[in-house]
């Protein structure tokens, strides 16, 4: 039997990037199904929360207008660029996620990357590590 976790309101709020009150309003409006656990706390089943998160996800519009095979596109603002003569580290804030890329300083100059510039991080990799908290089931 596969265990599906339940998330308390505060945990669901953190995962969704909203306040506890917002999650409670969604529950009260019957937009997010919840139930009471054995201790009487309001909880949301993990699979329900996952579907809710997917349905509410709003990625920023990719301004490039380019079709590509890579499906992982993160649109965000450049927040920091650290360069030397050959290589640079560029940080983007993509919603609640920070994306860091290492690229040539020449590419950074050619692209005009500096804090405040809109950019798209495109990731295509067969080496993506997925972890679970605690490593257990």
pLDDT (average), residues 113-119? 88
pLDDT (average), residues 3-14? 85
Domain with 11 in it: what CATH number? 1.10.1660.10
* Run of H or E residues at 51: helix 46-56
Query: Alpha-carbon Rg of the chain, whole angstroms?
Result: 19
Domain with 114 in it: what CATH number? 2.40.50.100
Predicted pLDDT of residue 1 = 45
- pLDDT single digits (tens) 69-113: 777 888 888 999 999 999 999 999 887 788 999 999 999 999 999
Give domain status of residue 131, yes or no: no
- 49, 87: one domain: no
SS3 readout for 81-132: EEECCCEEEEEEEECCEEEEEEEEHHHHHHHCCCCCCEEEEEECCCCCCCCC
What is the domain count for the chain? 2
Q: In which domain, by residue range, is 39 found?
A: 6-59
- 43, 21: one domain: yes
């Amino acid at each position: 039997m596969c265990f599906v976790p339940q998330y308390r309101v505060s945990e669901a709020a953190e995962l969704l990037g909203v306040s506890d009150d917002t999650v409670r309003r969604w529950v009260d409006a019957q937009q997010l199904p919840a139930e009471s656990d054995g201790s009487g706390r309001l909880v949301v089943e993990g699979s329900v929360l996952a579907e809710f998160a997917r349905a509410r996800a709003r990625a920023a519009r990719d301004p490039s207008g380019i079709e590509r095979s890579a499906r992982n596109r993160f649109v965000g603002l450049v927040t920091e660029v650290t360069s030397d003569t050959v290589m640079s580290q560029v940080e983007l804030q993509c919603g609640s996620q920070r994306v860091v890329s290492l690229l040539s300083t020449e590419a950074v100059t050619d692209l005009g990357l500096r804090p405040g510039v809109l950019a798209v991080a495109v990731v295509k990799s067969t080496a993506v590590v997925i972890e679970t908290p605690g490593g257990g089931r």
